Amino acid sequence: MSLDANQAETELQVIKSERLLTYVFESQNLGKHSDFAFQSPSMFSRMRGYIQAALSNEPTRPPTAEESRQIAFANFAARVDVRRIGQSYVVDVSFTSSDRELAPRVANAIASAYLWQSLASKTDKARNGAEFVQGRLNALSAQVSAAAAAVAAGTLPTTAVPDADSRVIGAAVQPLGPSAPRRGLIIALGAIIGLTTGFIILIVSQVFDRRIRTREVLIHATGLPCLAIVPEVRRWKGVSRLSEKDMCSLVSLRPEGEFAAAIRDIRTSIMLARSSRQGHGNDVVALVSWTRDAGCTLICANLAHIVRESGAKVTIVDADIRQKGWSLADQSPQAAISAPLTLADALTSDTPVNESDLLEFEGIALLPGRSSSSRINQLAYLSTPKMAQIFDMARNRSEVLLDLPPLCVGADARAAAQYADVVVLVAAAGRTTRDELAAAVQTLKSAGANVIGAVLNRAGA
């Protein structure tokens, strides 16, 4: 039969029509098949249904039998694919199903239904025409019966149907493997999307990351010179873990290491700053950070060891009178024998502080900060005139290192920084942010502190 392009497209729509598919759906009794039957909605779908019902003021209810049948038919029709191959008159009918046997059966039934519909139409025409021929009618009826039986069986007609307008040139066969979903393609696309998303997240996180990690960023954020980059210290030495005492004297345990070299750089920078100032007496050098985990105490203790090894006396004043837990006083054997005089005790009494009141550990003098009395710690203030007297006493005997409390916890550090000759700002690499450093510099300068530079601690952490 001669067909033009429009007729071919029309026949495609006939095959996909609801009438033909309904006939196949009913003939194959697919309404109760698990692939198409109404499924209980997921938790997300139920929640969405509850929200829609609340907005529309209509109560939710399970679907009726007719609605369930309509849902099953819609699911069935969505799996039918009918397409024309190129510009030919050949039509490919396919059906997607998780059931290997059902897929070819339904595809064959659709093809047979199309033949049946064509033959049934001709039978009606022959029966109503004036040129009715009984033999012709019988032949057509036999072909119709064969096509109908093929629809019910899900196969192609077993007898020839020459009067049909179309021919089936290939029957649907049971597939060797699933054609959908295409797992390889899905995995490949998922990997590409995952990698792309990961790179985008990485780039965005780098753009919006405000943490200090390099010397250049430190200088740009503070406007101060970078005095040293202190590397991250591994606390494991062989099979044993370094104690707090070992960490405080690490420059003596590892004098050739990068950590000791960085502490010496800090010492050199302080001496250069001192040479540019008037006077030649002992200085008070303060170390301060914005947060408590920047490692000020560790740097201060090791810097004291560098000063002591150079032949000079050194005194550490622990100004963190609010800190609880471990402190430098724990390294002195004297503190274990009797309660020492602390900075908090001295600030809340009229008793002067003498050299004999200082603790000694490894040749370093120490004035602890926190008292054993919590009330005294609350009453002590670093801005009292007694602080100047304490620093005068300490200057007379040695160089002074002032371990200040974090700037973020209160005004104590700002109040004590004004007594220091030079102040060194410490930032923790990968932890301290640009905004925190900028706030620290502004806070110190507003107090009149002489900030000579910054140190990047735990680089590589």
pLDDT of amino acid 45: 62
The pLDDT value recorded for residue 400 is 93
pLDDT for residue 86: 78
Give the pLDDT confidence score for residue 206 in this predicted structure: 67
What distance in Å separates the CA atoms of residue 271 and residue 284, rounded to the nearest whole number? Answer: 12
Q: Cβ distance 343 to 321 under 8 Å?
A: yes
Give the pLDDT of residue 129: 62
Using an 8 Å Cβ cutoff, are 389 and 357 in contact? no
Output the pLDDT for position 1. Answer: 44
Give the residue among 323, 261, 277, 257 at the shortest CA–CA distance from 296. 323
Task: Return per-residue pLDDT of the chain as tens, 461 residues.
Answer: 445 677 778 888 888 888 888 888 888 888 878 777 766 655 666 676 667 666 655 556 677 878 888 888 888 888 898 888 877 878 888 888 888 888 888 889 988 988 888 888 787 777 766 455 677 778 888 888 888 888 888 888 877 777 777 777 667 766 656 766 777 788 888 999 999 988 888 888 766 778 888 899 899 988 999 999 999 887 666 556 777 778 888 888 888 889 999 999 999 999 888 776 665 678 899 999 998 888 888 999 999 999 999 889 999 999 888 777 667 777 777 665 666 888 889 888 888 888 888 888 888 999 988 888 888 888 888 888 888 889 889 888 899 999 999 998 888 888 889 889 999 999 999 889 999 999 999 999 998 899 999 999 986 54
Distance of CA 275 to the CA centre of its chain: 49
Q: Using CA atoms, how far apart are residues 198 and 368, in angstroms rounded to an integer? A: 49
Q: What sign results for the dihedral spanned by CA atoms 180, 184, 187, 192?
A: negative
Strand, helix or coil at 227? strand
CA distances to 156, 274, 356, 422 from 425, rounded to whole Å, are: 87, 16, 31, 10
241: CB partners within 8 A, 6+ apart: 235
pTM of the model: 0.59
What confidence score (pLDDT) does residue 155 get?
84
Report residue 75 as tokens. Answer: 């699911």
